[in-house]
């Protein structure tokens, strides 16, 4: 199976970008096709055999990744952040074998660790029971910065929702993929390195987090679950976010999510709701 790699960069992490590209180039087995999307910046210098595509404006994380996979022809697509890297030279070989063994496997989410601590952040384990990051399992979403998926999933589900810009685009695509019958796997043995950071350090995070969560619910959930899902997340946000300024930004994003167009509405079937519930994460939390 051919693997195409999409690495998105804003041009401000050249050392980390080189590390990410080298980790892919050093993989055993067939060489992957690598495309660096320079998102609104000049194309950076890259190793031989790596292609670049510079966009005239910043398309956002989601728009940049969505553009990238459409420029490739491979059966599998690896999405890798420019400050992430594969921690062993057999990661792609392992992932290829997993996809070859299971024709309904649509997405593999990698385990991310901080090499300085050797630990995986709880938010990097895409399930509610995240206390054991070294346990693989079927899941209901995936990590955007270190995953491999079939091109067929992207084709069938319409790709990534570019208008989201940043936040919840993985869940939007994951729910569409699950509804189409695909499986999503968290593979704890496919490991990528990434420094531990929190997206909440950016104020824009709160607005987009709220807006996109409303969009996600409006696009993908059956009507009775829209209010339940957003009610649960509103309560969790009020409890978790103690800063009033951040809460006000979040509130404006929430209102924006209702007043703006989220794109086509394609609610999941109730049997998909039940499937997600059996996987341990019903679409209300």
Residue 285 has pLDDT above 90, yes or no: no
Number of structural domains the chain divides into? 2
Range of the domain at 252: 199-278
**How far is Cα 152 from Cα 158, in angstroms, rounded to an integer?**
10
Asked if residue 98 and residue 213 are part of one domain, the reply reads no
Asked if residue 158 and residue 18 are part of one domain, the reply reads yes
**How far is Cα 15 from Cα 3, in angstroms, rounded to an integer?**
24
Asked if residue 157 and residue 30 are part of one domain, the reply reads yes
**How far is Cα 49 from Cα 31, in angstroms, rounded to an integer?**
10
- Residue 285 maps to a domain: no
Asked if residue 113 and residue 72 are part of one domain, the reply reads yes
129-151 confidence digits (pLDDT tens): 888 999 999 999 999 999 999 99
Mean pLDDT for the stretch of residues 173-178? 98
Domain end marker among 193, 214, 248:
193
Residue 122 confidence class, pLDDT cut points 50, 70, 90: confident
Asked if residue 101 and residue 31 are part of one domain, the reply reads yes
Asked if residue 54 and residue 34 are part of one domain, the reply reads yes
pLDDT value at residue 267: 98
Asked if residue 230 and residue 181 are part of one domain, the reply reads no
Asked if residue 160 and residue 30 are part of one domain, the reply reads yes
Domain end marker among 193, 225, 252:
193
Asked if residue 145 and residue 86 are part of one domain, the reply reads yes
7-60 confidence digits (pLDDT tens): 999 988 999 999 999 999 999 999 999 999 999 999 999 999 999 999 999 999
Residue 213 confidence class, pLDDT cut points 50, 70, 90: very high
CB neighbour burial string for 143-160, b if at least 16 within 10 angstroms, e if fewer = bbbbbbbbbebbeebebb
Asked if residue 130 and residue 45 are part of one domain, the reply reads yes
Identify whether the C-beta of residue 241 lies closer than 8 Å to the C-beta of residue 250: yes
Conformational region of residue 68, where left means phi above 0, alpha means psi within -120 to 50, and beta covers everything else = alpha
Q: What is the CATH number of the domain that holds 18?
A: 3.90.550.10
Average pLDDT, the chain: 95
- Residue 283 maps to a domain: no
What are 120's two structure tokens? 């995986």
Domain end marker among 193, 224, 242:
193
- Residue 57 maps to a domain: yes
Asked if residue 161 and residue 58 are part of one domain, the reply reads yes
Asked if residue 136 and residue 108 are part of one domain, the reply reads yes
């Amino acid at each position: 199976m051919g693997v195409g790699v999409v690495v998105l960069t804003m041009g401000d992490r050249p050392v980390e970008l080189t590390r990410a590209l080298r980790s892919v180039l050093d993989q055993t087995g067939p060489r992957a096709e690598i495309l660096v999307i320079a998102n609104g910046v000049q194309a950076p210098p890259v190793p031989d055999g790596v292609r670049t595509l510079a966009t005239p404006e910043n398309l956002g994380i989601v728009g940049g990744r969505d553009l990238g996979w459409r420029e490739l022809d491979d059966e599998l697509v690896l999405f890798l952040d420019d400050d992430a890297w594969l921690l062993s030279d057999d990661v792609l070989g392992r992932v290829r074998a997993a996809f070859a063994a299971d024709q309904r496997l649509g997405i593999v989410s990698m385990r991310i660790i901080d090499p300085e601590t050797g630990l995986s952040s709880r938010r990097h384990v895409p399930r509610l029971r995240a206390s054991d990051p070294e346990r693989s399992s079927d899941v209901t979403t995936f990590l955007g910065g270190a995953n491999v998926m079939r091109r067929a999933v992207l084709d069938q589900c319409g790709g990534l929702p570019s208008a989201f810009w940043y936040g919840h685009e993985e869940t939007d695509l994951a729910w569409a993929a699950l509804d189409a019958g695909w499986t999503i796997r968290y593979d704890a043995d496919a490991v990528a390195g990434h420094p531990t950071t929190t997206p909440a350090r950016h104020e824009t995070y709160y607005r987009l987090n709220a807006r996109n969560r409303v969009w996600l619910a409006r696009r993908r959930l059956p009507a009775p679950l829209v209010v339940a899902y957003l009610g649960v997340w509103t309560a969790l946000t009020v409890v978790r976010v103690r800063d009033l300024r951040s809460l006000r930004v979040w509130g404006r994003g929430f209102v924006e999510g209702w007043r703006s167009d989220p794109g086509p509405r394609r609610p999941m079937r109730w049997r998909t709701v039940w499937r997600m519930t059996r996987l341990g994460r019903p679409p209300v939390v």
